[in-house]
Structure 1
Amino acid sequence: MTTEWWRTAAIYQIYPRSFADANGDGMGDLAGIRSRLPELADLGIDAIWLSPFFTSPQKDAGYDVADYCDVDPRFGTLDDFDDMLAEAHRLGLRVIVDLVPNHSSDRHPWFQEALAAGPGSRERARYLFRDGKGDTGDIPPNNWESVFGGSAWTRVTEADGEPGQWYLHLFDSSQPDFDWTNEDVREEFRRILRFWLDRGVDGFRVDVAHGMVKAEGLPDWTPAADGGSMGGASHALVEEGVPLEPEIHDAGDGAPYWGQDGVHEIYRDWRALLDEYPGERILAAEAWVDPLPRVAKWVRSDEMHQAFNFAYLETPWDAAALRGVIDASLSAFGAVGAPSTWVLSNHDVVRHASRLALTVENLQGHGIGPRTPGLPDPVVGLRRARAATALMLALPGSAYVYQGEELGLPEAIDLPDDARQDPTWFRTHGERYGRDGCRVPLPWEADRPSFGFGPTDAAWLPQPASWADFARDRQRGVEGSTLELYRAALGGRRSHALAMGSVDWVEPSGADGVLAFRNGDVLVVANTGSADVPLPAGEVLLASAEVADGVLPADTTVWLRA
């Protein structure tokens, strides 16, 4: 029977190294994930997505893969994965794994073979090696810059000891890009897909799903100064109360390394492969492109099933802007018969409990730290985050929750410089803080070592002392806690069938900071403004903050029985 579970699923992202540590070495692992799965089932989610746990030197936290078909010893073994998968399925949770097809690690056997084989070889043809410019070839083949800062090209030393060709790496120099015009590459990834599908995984989140294919000739390209690091538009956070125009400009259009038409041929091939397997296995796209109708190309009926709605993620806490992006999303994805896939946080962006209260522009990928201007008020940030989540989980379609947001975790801003590990921090010489602040290990029990992350005090990134107050055991069963808000919202989303519903705006939605719509038997009202507004009559089903005396406070979302 076809259930199309992915159309309405609430999916929880696990960042393995920061979720739960079973052996006390300070690094999360698969055994730790397995031990905490019952708490995720209790939260009310339908599936989990695991960021990479494959064999890797960990130069980019596992997104530099040396072996796509094995588990890095830091995280356990294939047997540990199988045990975790079986436990998830026993609890009714589906499991999605991360696939990284744009690039490998420079420690991958293929790249090592390419270095040894030399120019013109079959081995080098699997990657994007090119001769340099200038009389001695000492100028990179083009002007492309890495997502992490600096040049996107690194020159190799050939077997004879002389400077040789350059290879492309859109990310760190330890992450050489594959050449997807090469059939060896395409066949290898078919093998990788089958390896994990045969083990029973329910799908793949595809990293950099708008990359992989580069424009013929690799022409020079200078991105817009206000563009996010992964392409697409950056919905710059603005001064409080100043609305952002909801129309999304296509900053990524024309970039010769993002969103090329050739990627769609790859995903049609993968979709046909997945459709051979029972149980509705899915593909979810990380595609940072604009505008929304362009994103929808990734989820046409013969391609992927989901694409993260980054336009929504990057929209400020403003009623007019939110109405604009919700309408645009439902229209664009609906036009190709796909659900919108809503998201507010992940491992690459500032957590929304901090991001929504920033008062100065902060581009995706740059991160925040002690010297960042316009740092958020944590009280305002958490209040807005709770309201934004209550709004998001009332929308029709699928939704993703990033680990720790159900605890109200803010960005860890005050990490010591010597503790930071993101390549962005190093490649920009500390100019950009990068993504470490959203990746700090989770607090589970306030009075245990590492707040229950593991059996010892070890943690690969230091946990702020204040996180004891956010620990899961401090919030479980406590009325008004962020954890209980998430449990109630996820439960209400299911019991009221909101994910299968529709948005019927209640006018004058979008004006005066108020957003209101009906979805089935629920009236959703969000006050994004700075002043209290009248609360419509009706039974309160859920509220992100306390409501009383017929008043809906600022930065509050409420569900009423319509």
Structure 2
Amino acid sequence: MFVFRIAPIFILPALFLLAFASDVKELEWWETTIFYQIYPRSFMDSDGDGIGDLKGITSKLEYLKELGVGATWLSPMFQSPMYDFGYDIADFYDVHDEYGTMEDFDNLMAKAKELDIKIVLDFVPNHGSNESVWFEEALRGHEKYYDYFMWEDGIMDENGTLRPPNNWNSVFRKSAWEYREEVGKYYLHQFVIGQPDFNYRNPEVVEEMKNVLRFWFEKGVAGFRVDAISHLFEVDKEKFGGRYPDEPLSGDSTDDPENYNYLDHIYTKDLDETYDMVYQWREVFEEYSKKDGLERVMMTESYGSPQVTMKYFGDGERDGSHMPFNFVLISDVNGDSSAAEIKYALDKFLTFKPIDKLANWVAGNHDNNRVASRFSPMLVDGVNMIVLLLPGIAVTYMGEEIGMVDGYVSWEDTVDPSGCNTDDPINYVSASRDPERTPFQWSSEKNAGFSTGDKTWLPVAEGYETLNVEVQRTVERSHLNIYKTLAKLRAEPAFRHGRYESVAFNSDVFAFRRWHDGETYIVIINLRDVTYDIDLTYFDNVLGDLEVVVNSLDSPKTVGDVFEVSAVPVAGYEGMVLKLI
């Protein structure tokens, strides 16, 4: 191992950003809390069938309180045939029977209220299920429900074979059109075949979806995370002679015409009408916020450029999403990234966002590899420091607090349609989302304490015997206990209201400063297994000594250690929070 003593190298301009206005304002609950995402199928099984459920979640709400979490977002728990594990909703007004009953949901809400934990649900407005009453009625010729969906005539080729209307592809590969003999037409599904897209040019669909929001708001939910919002609208076919046009080739490196990335989705993604719909939904949110004083929060999922993401905040006259998800820690960087690339990714959202809006930080979710697998098990605490201590709102995917890793799911056990649709028993793993959805690891007991059943819906990840909540609770130094400390530290004025400045000291060491009203903290993360001495006098007015407040699991230091600002030793993969004394 090499040891270098260096002065800071000016890689990118330090960015000074005011997290809030100079006059400290009173913040809403959602602006200060930590959102904890639960994938219900994998969190806790209460009845031994190998599938997580609402009673299981209710039984573990105290754990969220223990973490310092004030809100949980539940992935879809609505009635569904489960082709896409809840994202194909058959009844937007009821609970999926494998997860429990409406009474179970009401009990969950009551327990959450008792613990002062807000419940946020997943809203899936782009599509429904081909097993819903709405779709079944459409196939029977019911005009109202027929117009809920997107239909188009096929094209007869030179051999007399009926083909899909155009070249549009599903996100999950292959044609986005599926033929139904009952009506003699194709319906559009931008995701799996069982997920017919809704027709948002129909005012009745717009009102139906607003009523879905109202139904759950009446039950006390504190908001919604809006799924796959980018795909909500397709181009108006009347502008193209009454038929949907082909999309142009993307020029992407893929040579597979059935791959989603083969096309440039100019007619099916990020259309202007989508933002207007978000602004309309915000009006429904505000309707309920005014009714009982509880601010309802909207989180929107859209993977795209900062320019596109920022449109979800609003248009200057109308408000939109409170939290357009910031996916830079998922889409822009990974374990191979340099400190400069980390800095660039983080500063980007802060640079583009409106000055009166908050940033948000999320490093993992049910659709992407876990932090420990995408970065490194050695960087779990460092990434959690970034998520919890940067200016703005923090979102944690279940298991990231203990450093869970992706589980191995064989081709035979794979159930995710994104993996199954590859038809490739060798390379399916690159598309499958099953590895990050394996059951939560509570203990060293059978099935990691997730279920008493003989089989779980996905296999439990290897190594759960030592990587679980129970083990990490019982030792002084663990990812779990570090996370709890960070959650408490997050409430300090310097992190809640303070200013922010970041720097890449070299290719491996990223650091940022938070300061407010005379208190200064510096967070350092070393991305590599190389030791450095770092001169932190680079930061203006940072002079004297620094005390270790929190440090990563394998750090050689002890909380309370003091170092001179001009020469702070940083071990390989070390993450530290230091306070100026």
Structure 2 unaligned regions, length at least 5:
1-24, 238-243, 255-259, 537-544, 558-562
SS of the aligned residue for 2:466 comes to helix
Q: In the alignment, is residue 464 of structure 1 matched against residue 461 of structure 2?
A: yes
Task: Give the Cα separation in 2 of the matches to 1:168 and 1:73.
Answer: 27
Instruction: Provide the rounded CA distance (Å) in 2 between the counterparts of 1:259 and 1:477.
Output: 48
Among residues 366, 389, 394, which one is paired with 1:347 in the alignment? 366
| Structure 2 residue identity aligned to 1:129 | W
Q: 2:245: which partner in 1?
A: 219
Shift of 1:323: 1.1
Contact 1:344 1:401 in 2 (8 A): yes
Give the superposition deviation at 1:90: 1.3
TM-score for the superposition, normalised by structure 2: 0.83
Change (3 A) 1:95 1:253: farther
Deviation (angstroms), 1:496: 4.7
Identity percentage over the alignment? 35
CA distance in 2, matches of 1:471, 1:226: 40
Structure 2 CA distance for aligned equivalents of residues 149 and 185 of structure 1: 27
Aligned AA for 1:275? E
Assess if the C-alpha contact under 8 Å between 1:252 and 1:258 holds in 2: no
CA distance in 1, matches of 2:496, 2:324: 16
> Is 1:421 equivalent to 2:429 in the alignment?
no
Displacement of 1:555 after TM fit?
2.3
Match of 1:26 among 40, 47, 50: 50
- Residue 277 of structure 2 aligns with which residue? 266
Report deviation, 1:150.
1.3
Give the deviation of 1:338 after TM superposition: 1.7
- Shift of residue 313 of structure 1? 2.1
What are the Cα deviations for residues 315-343 of structure 1, in whole angstroms up to 9, with x where unaligned?
Answer: 234211111122211121234x2211111
Task: Verify: 1:123 aligned to 2:137, yes or no.
Answer: no
1:134 equivalent among 137, 156, 159: 156
How does 1:44-193 map onto structure 2 within 5 Å?
Answer: 44-117=68-141, 121-134=143-156, 138-158=162-182, 164-193=184-213
Amino acid at match of 2:555: E
1:38 aligns with 2:56: no
RMSD of the alignment, in Å?
2.3
Q: Once the 2 structures are TM-superposed, how far is the Cα of residue 264 of structure 1 from its aligned partner? A: 1.3
1:347 alignment partner AA = H
**1:391 corresponds to:** 386
**Structure 1 counterpart of 2:540:** none
The Cα of 1:558 is off from its aligned counterpart by 1.0
C-alpha contact 2:406 2:461 (8 A) present in aligned 1: no
**What is the CA–CA distance in structure 1 between the aligned matches of 2:134 and 2:473, rounded to whole Å?**
48
Deviates more, 1:181-190 or 1:193-202: 181-190
CA separation of 1:252 and 1:54: change in aligned 2, threshold 3 A:
same
Map of 1:397-436 to 2, 5 A cutoff?
A: 397-412=392-407, 414-430=408-424, 431-433=427-429, 434-436=432-434
CA contact (8 A) 2:177 2:188 kept: yes
* Cα distance in 1, alignment partners of residues 413 and 496 from structure 2: 41
Alpha-carbon displacement from aligned partner over 1:96-139 (angstroms, at most 9, x marks no partner): 00010000011111111112218xx4432211110012355712
Aligned partners of 2:338 and 2:532: how far apart in 1? 15
| Structure 1 equivalent of residue 311 of structure 2 | 297
For residues 422-447 of structure 1, the C-alpha deviation after alignment (integer angstroms, 9 at most, x for no partner) is: 0012211034331000111111121x
Aligned equivalents of 1:34 and 1:226: distance in 2? 46
The more displaced of 463-472 and 311-320 is 311-320
Change in Cα spacing, 1:308 to 1:252, as seen in structure 2 (3 Å) is farther
Distance in 2 separating the partners of 1:224 and 1:411:
32
Matches within 5 A, 1:276-291: 276-277=287-288, 278-290=293-305
Unaligned runs of 5+ in 1: 228-232, 235-250, 357-380
Q: Which residue is equivalent to 1:442? A: 440
Measure the CA separation in 2 of the matches of 1:531 and 1:296: 38
Which of 198, 206, 223 is the equivalent residue of 2:218?
A: 198
- 1:309 alignment partner in structure 2: 326
2:555 equivalent to 1:555: no
Is residue 112–residue 118 contact of structure 2 (8 Å, CA) maintained in 1?
Answer: yes
What's the CA shift for 1:2? 7.1
Which amino acid in structure 2 is aligned with residue 346 of structure 1?
N
Task: Indicate the residue corresponding to 1:512 in structure 2.
Answer: 507
Work out whether residues 397 and 500 of structure 1, in 8 Å CA contact, stay in contact via their aligned partners in 2.
no
Offset at 1:223?
4.0
2:532 is the alignment partner of 1:524: no
Higher relative contact order (CA 8 A, sep 6+): 2
Tell me whether 1:483 sits opposite 2:500 in the alignment. no
